[in-house]
Structure 1
Amino acid sequence: MIITGVALTVLLVLVVGIAVARKVDGDSANYLVAGRQLGIPLVAVALTTAAVDSNATVGNTDMSSGYGFWAGASLALGLAICLLLAGLFLAKPMNRMGLLTLGDFFARRYNRPVELVASLLMVFAFTILLAGNLVAMGFLVEYFTGMPYIVGVVLAVCLVLAYTIGGGLFSDAYTAVIQAVITGVATVALFVWVASTWGITIPEGMGPFDLGQLTDPAQGAAINWATLVSLGIGDLVAIDFMQRIFGAKTPEGAQKACFIGAGATAVVGVLWSLIALTTVAELGLSAADAPIIYQLLDDFAPALLAILVLSGIVAASFSTASGAILATSAVAVRNIAGVRREVAPGHHDPLLRWTRIAMLPVVLVGIFLAVRVSQTGILLTLAFDLMLACLIAPFLLGLFWRRSTSTAALVGAGVGFVVRVTFLALTPTLYGVPNTLLYVDNDLVTADFDGWATLVAAAAGVTAFVVTALLTRPRAEEEIDLRHVDRTATDAPVPVTAAPAPAGTSAEVPVALRSAEPLEA
């Protein structure tokens, strides 16, 4: 009964996602940024469902139940902080630029090598994020049907691709409405049921006001702060969040949507953490056996509530997976392969075609990582841990500091990546769990360095960027202030000229045909 109910929810999402695919109309701008026509409600729910995924629900409850409120809630609260900061400082200028992908920012602000390096890092990080959402689906299918974990992972990929590959951001945004309603209702219903059945009971030392979790390294303070910082700041370099911001009708609409998403994400995250803590105190459940929430729903909850909550988990996972697949494929094709948009009548848009094709290798890598590291919240944090170390300085300082240079961006990203990967290989644990991803047995680094590795790598990357920027001189074209670029100008059709294709772009598309192409304007 439970699986049947969840299947009906998935069917509804698929029908809506496929139905709105016609809005793409063969145009990659419609596919990637929904024609920049999304209103505040659609952008807000799309941002919320991107943040409230299986990591902020299933991963949250597992971490909260084992290590305390801040270990789990930090996953959602970090994302809420990210959306708040994005609304305060980034939504308006980033929407105003008229970009198609976040990789376009690095191309316009710096040069082709920086665009390439930044795009490779973003693709790598978001494939890890995709894997984290596939993990939850794999466990769900395994736990409730008895089928192998890998079957659940592959099934999730196929279902998400079924509508994402056709409708892009349009399908993602419209299905997000259904997914947000299901997730929101499921969260409130589950919290009310738990509270009315057992009350909200918190084990000693594990609650939100037990601040030793944020001050005492023995209680995981370094790991909890690393989670908050990597998600709250590192997630600003989020290609799926930015894709939704680019799709908003106006800069003001993008900003308001970020604020709404931040509030909703924080509320959902706190409620799921309190639910997890109550199950530990009252039922003695442990994530060592299976995800906490799956045990609670299968063994204790009424069937209808179990169906609703599991549908919410699936909906949340689908939304984030869809956005990750779309944004990652777009960056791979546009900013790494150099395929540009073509809008001439009678021509097929190569950016649209190749973005769809690129989704296949992206999901294959995601499946591999989901099998290799079957952790939810850990994969989410690691994804933006890398963004924090490598790209946060080139992105934020590149937007607000005119002294930023291409050389500084490359040095900062390189130093941050080397330091973070070195620590990843040397540290035996990864955010509190055994490091099965890339650990080299050694006596140099102990588990006590877990968490600090994130902060030290970030400091190294930012310091390398700032020092290099101060020692190098920006080229004239690197001194532009992108915060005041008006997308109405950059989106306008490019005049007919015989100009050669810029470096790193596809020469097969005439400059005259690249309307709405801010990079070629």
Structure 2
Amino acid sequence: MRQRFIGQEENLLPSTLVSLASMSVHAAGLVAVGVFYVVILLTGILALRKSKEVEKKCIGKKSEVAIVGGRDMIVVIGVFTMTATWVGGGYIMGTAEAVYSPAQGLIWAFGPVSYFLNFLIAGLFFAKPMRSKHYVTMLDPFQHRYGQFFTTAILLPALFSDILWVACILAALGGTMSIILDISATISIPISAAVSISYTVLGGLYAVAYTDVIQLSFIFVSLWLSIPFMFLSPAVTDPSQTTNFNQSNSFPWVGEVKLEDAGKWTDDFFVLALGGLACQALFQRILAASSSAQAQVTCFAAGGFAFIMGIPSVIIGAVAASADWNQTGYGLPPPYERGEAGNILPLALSYIAPTWVSVLGIGALAAAVMSSMDSALLSSGSMFTQNIYKTTLRKQASERELKWVIRISVLLVGLAGTCLAFNKSSILSLWVLANDTLYCVIAPQLTCAVHLRSGNCYGAISGYVIALLLRVLSGEPALGIPPVLLFPGWREEDGVITQYFPFRTLIVFISLAVVVFMSWLFQLAFSRQLIPQSWDVFDAFKKKVEAIEEERTTIPISKDEKKYVLNTAL
């Protein structure tokens, strides 16, 4: 009996040591994440002091300090905060997921190239006209040109996108912590959300910008540092020799685009490349710059840095695709066959890299989550307060009241995104979907509002309704919405219909055409009095006539002159 008991102790010893080692790793990870969160909160408190100093120097409109600061953001800070906003959990994990997945590969990892293109277009065509007019939010051009009704309509899809964005990046962090630190997502997601909401509420744009500097630096160092250790792992072979999933390519993780998939590839690429042009988080940084030229430089530099920040995720995805998971503690079948491709980045950090590198990896993901989440929170809060509450609900609201409205709005958006983060959808799908609504509905409208001088509210409403209707009827698998409109090339897989035609890009072109055509049609109808002026319920044409009347207060304007104005000036 004594001999048997000793033998049992000997058998239990290795497993006990493994458990103790695992507990020590988890404890170290928890301490590291805790320290990181404390540093971020302290930075947010320091940003609050900076925000109050700027408020003292401002004459009126102190609530705008939380939105665009003092419009004196230096280029370096601007580049850091703009890059960090885009380099979030969805970007990092979604890119790695695409490279690793055998059905996709590097060619489907749109993030780095699409984000570079997004910033390039923003700098060339939107930064100067928006910043030169001293706008406060992305909705200001709509409010000035089309009025309050349409501005409220535009806010709704923008708010929906921000909530999805928050959900996407929180889901990325929840999956990472559950894998590396063995913490349930029901605990890690609310805690991370609470930290991000707290410092965003405290310091506004300054808190977001200053914490972004720390977060982006941590992401860059942690992810690049983990790559050499992954290549040294005995479970990893040369990525160029991987033949696990695709025998037809010497670099299988590169992937390919089949002819029947070309439409979906094009659609997804432009969703990420152009959807961000209609994002308040982008224009918040542009409008906070000290000049139009500085805003453009910030966009161009951020595009380059966003591209560089995507490279580690690409490499980690390729390494994971080339790894022999049977030689790791994860075992077989590999993550893709278990339906865990969405968590491939934390899985690679946890099972391929050393344990201390895993701890740094969780810090990188936490930083990525906060760097994007705080921007999404402040984005929605800013637009609602500046363009809805201040101009419609409470025109006489004090500056103190407006600041509290921003804070409450940030809290509500954060809570909504946190609840949605427990959705089981792919992180890559949520990431694309967050840009989807911006691309289909808002991007064509913003382009017309900024660059189409002949556009009017009636044309904008027509394009908005058509785009929204077509997008809903096209269906969305990630939200469980079945398609009513079936475009050429659609497929049904596992009972779910997927559209492979570039229908979202088609919707954008249809929306643009409707805005231009209906604006011209209504202008013609009102100018020729085919529609009575009394029917101009949105004052789309009355305002221009009244503006000319104000300039000619000494000389009354006749009916013929009004008709001439409607025929020429509109």
TM-score between the two structures when normalised by the length of structure 2: 0.76
- Alignment partner, residue 271 of structure 1: 312
Alignment counterpart, residue 19 of structure 1, candidates 46, 54, 58 = 46
Whole-angstrom CA distance in 2 between matches of 1:111 and 1:332: 15
Alignment partner of 2:131 out of 59, 70, 95: 95
Q: Distance in 2 between matches of 1:441 and 1:396?
A: 28
Pick closer, same or farther for the CA change 1:55–1:231 going to 2, 3 Å.
Answer: same
2:479 partner SS: coil
Q: Please state how far the C-alpha of 1:112 moved relative to its aligned partner.
A: 1.4
> Does 1:258 find its partner at 2:299?
yes
**Cα pair 1:213 1:224 within 8 Å, conserved:** no
Equivalent residue number for residue 410 of structure 2: 359
Q: Which moved more, 1:259-268 or 1:206-215?
A: 206-215
Select which of 286, 300, 320 maps to 2:352.
Answer: 300
Give a deviation string over 1:94-147, Cα, whole Å, max 9, x none. 122222211112101322122111112211111111111111122123223444
1:372 alignment counterpart: 423
Give distance in 1, aligned partners of 2:221 and 2:279: 27
Q: Deviations over 1:372-406 (max 9, x none)?
A: 35432222211221111112222112211211111
Task: After superposition, give the CA deviation of every residue in 1:70-98 in whole Å (9 maximum; x if it has no partner).
Answer: 46520332222111111111112212222
Counterpart among 381, 391, 410 of residue 442 in structure 2: 391
- 1:228-243 matched pairs, under 5 angstroms: 228-243=269-284
Q: Is the CA contact 2:80–2:213 (under 8 Å) kept in the aligned structure 1? A: yes
Following the alignment from structure 2 to structure 1, what is the Cα–Cα distance between the partners of residues 510 and 296? 31
For 1:132 and 1:172, the matched residues in 2 are separated by 19
Cα separation, partners in 2 of 1:71 and 1:453, compared to 1, 3 Å: farther
The more displaced of 101-110 and 333-342 is 333-342
Residue 349 of structure 1 pairs with residue 397 of structure 2? no
Among candidates 106, 111, 121, match of residue 157 of structure 2: 121
Alignment partners' CA distance in 2, 1:443 and 1:121: 21
Which amino acid is the alignment partner of residue 228 of structure 1? Answer: F
Q: Deviations over 1:153-178 (max 9, x none)?
A: 21221010120000011000001111
Relative to structure 1, is the Cα distance of residues 255 and 192 closer, same or farther in structure 2, using a 3 angstrom cutoff? farther
Residue correspondence of structure 1 range 114-193 to structure 2 within 5 A: 114-193=150-229
Q: Is the 8 A contact 1:52 1:76 kept in 2?
A: no
Contact 2:441/2:468 (CA < 8 Å) preserved in 1? yes
What is the CA-CA distance between 1:7 and the residue it aligns to? Answer: 2.4
1:472 counterpart SS class: helix
Q: 8 Å contact 1:200–1:274 — kept in the other structure?
A: no
| 1:213 matches 2:256 | yes
1:396 is matched by which residue type in structure 2?
T
Give the match for residue 325 of structure 1. Answer: 377
Closer, same or farther: CA 60–399 of 1 in aligned 2, 3 Å: same
Question: 1:439 corresponds to which residue?
Answer: 481
The equivalent of 2:122 in structure 1 is 86
Separation in 1 of the partners of 2:263 and 2:409? 38
Q: Is 2:143 aligned against 1:107? A: yes
SS of the aligned residue for 1:117 comes to helix
Query: Corresponding residue for 1:475?
Result: 541
Matched residue pairs, number? 467
- CA spacing shift, 1:187–1:113, aligned 2, 3 Å: same
Equivalent residues of 1:394, 1:409 under 8 A apart: yes
Q: Distance in 2 between matches of 1:246 and 1:206?
A: 46
| Structure-2 change in CA distance of 1:451 and 1:211 (3 Å) | farther
Distance (whole Å) between structure 2 residues aligned to residue 207 and residue 68 of structure 1: 15
In 2: Cα distance, 1:283 partner to 1:477 partner: 69
1:413-424 matches, cutoff 5 A: 413-424=464-475
Gaps of 5+ in 1: 426-434, 480-521
Q: What percentage of aligned pairs have identical amino acids?
A: 21
Contact 2:429 2:478 in 1 (8 A): no
Q: Distance in 1 between matches of 2:345 and 2:151?
A: 41
Change (3 A) 1:130 1:72: farther
Asked if structure 2 preserves the Cα contact closer than 8 Å seen for 1:50 and 1:320, the reply is yes
Change in Cα spacing, 1:267 to 1:69, as seen in structure 2 (3 Å) is farther
In structure 2, C-alpha distance between the alignment counterparts of 1:360 and 1:179, rounded to whole Å:
21
CA distance, structure 1, for counterparts of residue 193 and residue 501 of structure 2 = 31
Query: Over residues 191-233 of structure 1, what are the superposed CA-to-partner deviations in whole Å (9 max), with x where a residue is unaligned?
Result: 333445555436556799999734523xx43333222101111
- Please tell me the residue identity of whatever aligns with 1:8: V
1:36 equivalent in alignment to 2:86: no
Equivalent residues of 2:165, 2:430 under 8 A apart: yes
Whole-Å separation in 1 of the counterparts to 2:398 and 2:504 = 47
Q: Aligned in 2, Cα 1:373/1:460: closer, same or farther, shift over 3 Å?
A: farther
How far off its partner does 1:236 sit?
A: 0.1
Structure 1 residues 209 and 258 mapped into 2: Cα distance closer, same or farther (>3 Å)?
farther
Could you say what secondary structure the match of 2:256 adopts? helix
Give the 3 Å change call, closer, same or farther, for CA 422–443 of structure 1 in structure 2: closer
- Given residue 90 of structure 2, which amino acid in structure 1 is its aligned partner? N
Given the superposition, is the C-alpha separation of residues 368 and 65 from structure 1 closer, same or farther in structure 2, using an over 3 Å criterion?
same
Alignment of 1:3-14 (within 5 A): 3-14=30-41
Residue 482 (structure 1) aligns with: none
Q: Which amino acid aligns with 2:541?
A: R
- Residue type of the alignment partner of 2:285: R
Q: Does the C-alpha gap of structure 1 residues 70 and 472 become closer, same or farther in structure 2, counting only changes over 3 Å?
A: farther
1:424 counterpart SS class = coil
The equivalent residue for 1:466 is: 516
Post-superposition offset of 1:30: 1.5
Unaligned runs of 5+ in 2: 1-27, 56-61, 326-333, 492-496, 524-539, 546-570
**Cα offset, 1:340, TM superposition:** 8.2
- What is the CA–CA distance in structure 1 between the aligned matches of 2:35 and 2:471, rounded to whole Å? 43
Alignment-mate amino acid for residue 415 of structure 1: I
- C-alpha spacing 1:416/1:45, structure 2 compared with 1 (3 Å): same
Superposed CA RMSD in Å reads: 2.9
Give the 3-state SS of the residue equivalent to 1:372 in structure 2.
Answer: coil
Deviates more, 1:142-151 or 1:152-161: 142-151
C-alpha displacement of 1:332: 2.0
Partner of 1:32, secondary structure, is helix
Give distance in 1, aligned partners of 2:249 and 2:383. 41
How far does the alpha carbon of each residue in 1:388-431 deviate from its partner, in whole angstroms, 9 at most, with x for none?
A: 11122221122112111111111111111111111125xxxxxx
Partner of 2:9: none
